[in-house]
Amino acid sequence: MTAPENMGFSQTVERLGKLIAGLAAAGALAAFLFRGWKWGAGFAAGAAISCFNFHWLKRLTEALGGAGGKPLRRSSALFLATRYLLLGGAAYVILRYTSISFPAVLAGLFVSVAAVIVEILFELTYGRNLDH
């Protein structure tokens, strides 16, 4: 059986994944409707990069914490260490060879941060009493 604190962590991570997906979709739609396809595509690209980064960080914490995840292999550790180079390279290619909006990509990169802020507000509002 999973310890109560691990169950709370799993629920939080699951909520964060849903929040990231929802904010990415809503932000891309809003950017498309208000600023056009270049902004919508830019926001979606930045949000996708942010989502991949969240997924990779989640895998790392699961491997380090033993929360039911697979053990971290050497190749995975190398990949996680170089992920910022990969994400930066992807952003460079997107911005250099497409006509999508640079500010929209930057805004999309903050989708994970926005999801964490929403989760913090959720926990503060509907937080559980962990003493019992």
Q: In which band, very low, low, confident or very high, does the pLDDT at 96 lie, cut at 50, 70 and 90? A: confident
d(CA 88, CA 108): 14
Residue 28 within a domain:
yes
Residue 132 within a domain:
no
Domain count, the chain: 1
Structure tokens that stand for 18 in this block: 């849903």
Residue 83 within a domain:
yes
Domain that holds residue 41: 12-126
Residue 23 within a domain:
yes
Residue 94 within a domain:
yes
Residue 44 within a domain:
yes
d(CA 102, CA 94): 9
pTM of the model: 0.74
Q: Confirm if 31 and 39 have CB atoms less than 8 A apart.
A: yes
Q: What is the mean pLDDT of residues 3-11?
A: 64
Residue 131 within a domain:
no
Residue pLDDT, tens place only, 35-58: 999 999 999 999 998 998 888 888
Residue 5 within a domain:
no
d(CA 55, CA 35): 29
Which one of 53-62, 106-115, 121-130 scores highest in mean pLDDT?
106-115
